A = this chain, B = another copy of it.
Amino acid sequence: MERRYRLVLACPDRVGVVAMVSNFISSHGGSITDANQHSDPSIGWFFMRVEIVASSLPFELDELREAFSPIAQSFQMEWRITDSAVPKRVILMASRESHCLADLLYRFHSKELFCDIPCVISNHNDLRTMVEWHDIPYHHVPVDKDNKQNHFDGVKSLIDEYNADVIVLARYMQILPHELCDTYTHQIINIHHSFLPSFAGAKPYHQAHDRGVKLIGATCHYVTQDLDEGPIIDQDVIRISHQDQPEEMVRLGRDVEKNVLSRGLRWHLEDRILVRGNKTVVFN
């Protein structure tokens, strides 16, 4: 695909934002291939995402940022410009369950997901050969129940060493410490195996079975200090019946988890997600 610049911004809603932004682009001959905007009247906030053919602009990325900066300032924008040709660096974290990890690795391998995966980190050794077959380093960082800090120190230094842009918790079953959540705000993506806010916490399929619900689901969200409470990126559900014991629910749920997580990651990699407060705007 042709190289694109992606301009993503949010600011207080005011007359003229779109005009100012689109003028800026067209005055430099920029060719827009995709554009979305959203006004949220309940909070008076405006969101926008534009994809511009890179070769249609007379700028390199840094120049573009510099040129746009005065507009951003005058409208008090939170903004970023990214380059579609630069893959984000994604660290995958997993535990023992392989379905989400295998799914993401396959989508990476088949070029469906455009990113780099510099390494996989796990608190177990089970999934090593699967990962290494993809020529990706596998780091086993065990958890000592009585001293979890060691584990997280190890994780932290790997994230730093590999210079990750995104961390995906692909059924990594440990609760991250607050400082890690804060350092990587809106950069850590988790898949929770329930349709949140139902069945937060442990063993959601068993909780769902006990309650007798007729649909089960999965939720992809950014990780914050508040467990299972971060901004929701995507959710989906699947129908079950009285015949389904928890084991079948676990099996059926896996496909939902995989699809929701890979979709959420894809949107993140394409800079389609904007976060405001505890909610997301997803331009898909």
Q: What's the dominant secondary structure at chain A's contact region? A: mixed
A112 to B213, CA, bound (A): 24
Which residues of A line the B interface, CB within 8 A?
15-16, 18-20, 22-23, 25-27, 29-42, 56, 98-99, 102-103, 106, 110, 112, 133, 195-199, 211-215, 217, 231-237, 241-243, 245, 251, 254-255, 259, 278-282
B23 adjacent to A19 (CB under 8 Å):
yes
13 A-B contacts (beta carbon < 8 Å): A15-B29, A19-B26, A22-B22, A22-B23, A36-B36, A98-B110, A102-B106, A133-B133, A212-B279, A213-B235, A214-B234, A241-B282, A255-B259
A167 to B241, CA, bound (A): 25
User: Among the listed B27, B197, B198, B232, which residue makes an inter-chain contact with A214, where contact means beta carbons less than 8 Å apart?
Assistant: B232
A25 adjacent to B32 (CB under 8 Å):
no
Given contacts A15-B56, A22-B22, contact A215 B242 (CB under 8 A): no
A27 to B23, CA, bound (A): 12
Given contacts A279-B242, A280-B242, contact A211 B198 (CB under 8 A): no
